[in-house]
Amino acid sequence: DVKVTQSSRYLVKRTGEKVFLECVQDMDHENMFWYRQDPGLGLRLIYFSYDVKMKEKGDIPEGYSVSREKKERFSLILESASTNQTSMYLCASSLIQGYGYTFGSGTRLTVV
Amino acid sequence: EDQVTQSPEALRLQEGESSSLNCSYTVSGLRGLFWYRQDPGKGPEFLFTLYSAGEEKEKERLKATLTKKESFLHITAPKPEDSATYLCAVQDTGGFKTIFGAGTRLFVKA
């Protein structure tokens, strides 16, 4: 079965810390995405990547950066965590445009 | 601007009571419309992709249909295990982004 694995299910970090969220897919998919999901706001796209070492800003990139050094791995970095970044973070991948996404189980991040 | 609106926000059904969820969309050119199921605390699970008006897809008690302006997810004789949030999403031909609706929370009571 196709899989997207996120490294942590729950994470608690302090304000100002640098936070790394890791995502790995085993499907040889070209495209990878990071979303955050908040009650009442739905899924919002942070960054995406359509090729190795390529990255594009989504709708809410401020305070985040990403890295894609290998095709299967897409990392989300919170440069200096703030309380308003407390959220559910979801990684997804797709084979090519026009295909549905496979999502990971999510990382619930709390910044205190 | 691409937009996806789902209705109702929440739907409560008795077991066996069939109903439909609606997804209205606005895109300049439709590459694909997607339905996902999301259980609490988990990532969305892909259900269907629809590409053109008139297309239909089925899976167990679920059937998705597509017109030029909206999509319906029909649930026939639902069971309590169908309780979840159902998300609709669209991707236009112009780029990589997929726009998600806010979802419909479905509750099925035994």
Query: How do A4-6 and A23-25 pair as beta strands?
Result: antiparallel
Give the A window 27-66 contacts with B, CB below 8 Å.
Answer: 31, 40, 42-43, 45, 48, 50, 56, 58
Contact B97 A50 (CB under 8 A): no
Per the listing, tokens 């908040």 go with A38
Residue type at A4 in one-letter notation: V
Rounded CA-CA distance A89/B54 in Å is 35
**For residue B40, how many other CB atoms are within 10 A of its CB?**
8
Give the tens place of pLDDT for each residue, A64-78: 999 999 999 999 999
Q: Does B56 touch chain A (CB under 8 A)?
A: no
Contact call for residues B1 and B96 (beta carbons, < 8 A): no
Helix (H, G, I), strand (E, B) or coil at B29: coil
pLDDT less than 70: residues of chain B: none
CA-to-CA dists, residue A75 to A78, B19, B79, angstroms: 10, 40, 38
Contact A103 B43 (CB under 8 A): yes
More confident residue, A95 or A103: A103
Contacts of A98 in chain B (CB under 8 A): 31-32, 49, 51, 91
**For residue B87, how many other CB atoms are within 10 A of its CB?**
24
Contact call for residues B33 and B71 (beta carbons, < 8 A): yes
Contact B43 A90 (CB under 8 A): yes
Nearest to A98 among B32, B36, B103 (CB): B32
Rg of chain B in Å (alpha carbons): 13
Structural element, H or E, at residue A46: strand A42-49
Give the tens place of pLDDT for each residue, A15-48: 999 999 999 999 899 999 999 999 888 899 999 9
Give Dmax (Cα) for chain B.
44
Whether A1 shows a pLDDT value over 80: the answer reads no
Which residues are B109's β-sheet partners? B14
